[in-house]
Amino acid sequence: MRNWWGWAAGLILLVLIACALDGPLFPWSPVKPGYTHFTLHRADIYYPTGTTLEEPYQQLDSFIDEAEKFHRLKMPDRITVIAPRRWADFHFQTPWQGGNAIAALTLQTGTVIWITPKIAEKHFDTAEFLRHELSHAILDQNMTLWRGRKMNSQPWLFEGLAVDFGRQKAYLSDDEFLLRARTESVGPAFDGRSTDMRYNYVAWRYFIEHLIKTRGRDQFQEYLLHVMQDPDQALAVFPAAFGISFVDALREFQNQVDTVGLSAS
């Protein structure tokens, strides 16, 4: 029996070591073979040894400061950013993710961000995606894991804020969005009929900007904080927060898109 327990303990230790070296425990491993560690005041960055660290990663501290001002929240915990050497590394480290479609990912704790090889493959702006993920991170750090998970069921708010803070141009241009929104309406991006995330992300971003411009940043912040406490009530508390139903707010946004575009919305 002792031999069996010893063998089992040894096997468990080997599994843990494997998980730490290039698996789900990699972000917390004290040893990261093949990666170089770059330390900032508020973040740690791990990137492939033998490569040059891109400038956006070096600006992470300032991005975190901007995220705090934009979201009117504090980022209490350090951020670990990992740039996997290749797709296989990313899949080992995040086995719950499948395929090579995702450009960046934030752990539900709000403390670990992965920037995948897709950024380089598609020639995306790394800064946009770092900022996008920092938006997720700051919200997650200010919610419980359970509430953070529920917040994912309100993608128009959770992702819309991230796209807005990211100032992202990786999806659709303003002209492309306007043409489609005027032809198909923005409704499908909010009711689940549209599966085109490039369109949805832009629609959500500009709807949030519309709410802020028409109702005020203070009112939006009050709403955001309320939803962070109870994400399931996001639509139920919308009328009390903005003085208009969610459906009517979408109609108002659609009218702005149809008549004057985005600048006045």
Residues 114-136: tens digit of each pLDDT: 999 999 999 999 999 999 999 99
Q: Buried (b) or exposed (e) across 34-68, using 16+ Cβ within 10 A?
A: ebeeeebeebbbbbeeeeeebebbebbeebbeebe
Q: What's the pTM?
A: 0.91
Which residue bears the tokens 């330390």? 39
| pLDDT recorded at residue 15 | 38
Which pLDDT tens digit goes with each residue over 39-89?
Answer: 999 999 999 999 999 999 999 999 999 999 999 999 999 999 999 999 999
| pLDDT recorded at residue 16 | 40
Average pLDDT over the chain reads 91
Which residue bears the tokens 């070096």? 58
Would you state the structure tokens that stand for residue 160, as one six-digit string? 């819309």
Q: Does the pLDDT value for residue 265 go beyond 90?
A: no
| pLDDT recorded at residue 263 | 62
Asked if 82 and 112 touch (Cβ cutoff 8 Å), the reply is yes
Which pLDDT tens digit goes with each residue over 155-173?
Answer: 999 999 999 999 998 999 9
Would you state the structure tokens that stand for residue 25, as one six-digit string? 């425990």
Q: Does the pLDDT value for residue 145 go beyond 70?
A: yes
Asked if 111 and 137 touch (Cβ cutoff 8 Å), the reply is yes
Provide mean pLDDT across the span 19-34.
81
Beta bridge partners of 44: 39, 80
Q: Which CATH class is domain 27-142?
A: alpha beta
Per-domain residue ranges of the chain: 27-142, 144-265
**Element (DSSP H or E) covering residue 180:** helix 174-184
Which pLDDT tens digit goes with each residue over 219-238?
Answer: 999 999 999 999 999 999 99
Higher pLDDT, 98 or 181: 181
